[in-house]
Amino acid sequence: MEQDLHQYRAVVVRDSSRHLPPLTRRVSERQAILRVATIQQKIDAQVFGLGVGYLPRHCIVSQLESGDLVTPPMATEITSVPLYLVWKSNNKGRALRWFIERLRVLTIEPRK
């Protein structure tokens, strides 16, 4: 199942890290890759049939309902990966402080 997907081009959102090596998950070493700048571009590329990839279900509800995208059966369960957010430590703006405080109290439960 999963190995069947590796014959198709993977659509991935380009890593925005400037000083670390780019990181891509769930892509085979031999798989062709189409890199895009945003999650919306990734959704659009997959709807247009330019490749395959993992997407947050809550972002593609309408595409799944219309049949523009499908969820293939997978042999292995998809595990969560950590999400890291970084910012310049010398930025002391009020908007950033507000955002950081909201992130500190935010709890995201995995979807089942």
In this predicted model, what pLDDT tens digit does every residue of 22-61 receive, in sequence order? 666 667 777 888 999 999 999 999 999 999 998 888 899 9
Average pLDDT, the chain: 80
In a domain, 15, yes or no: yes
- The pTM score is 0.65
More confident residue, 65 or 108: 65
- Structurally, the chain folds into a number of domains equal to 1
Residue with tokens 């895009």: 36
In a domain, 105, yes or no: no
> Helix, strand, or coil here: 62?
helix
* In-domain check, residue 87: no
Q: Which two tokens stand for residue 24?
A: 């891509």
Establish if 55 belongs to a structural domain: yes
Residue 107 lies in a domain: no
Q: What is the CATH number of the domain that holds 6?
A: 3.40.190
Q: Quick check: is 84 in a domain?
A: no
* Structural domain of 49: 2-78
The answer to the question of residue 21 being in a domain is yes
Q: Are 37 and 46 in contact (CB under 8 A)?
A: no
The more confidently predicted of residues 8 and 20 is 8
Residue 75 has pLDDT above 60, yes or no: no
Task: Please report, in angstroms and rounded to a whole number, the separation of the first and last CA atoms in the chain.
Answer: 20
Residue 102 lies in a domain: no
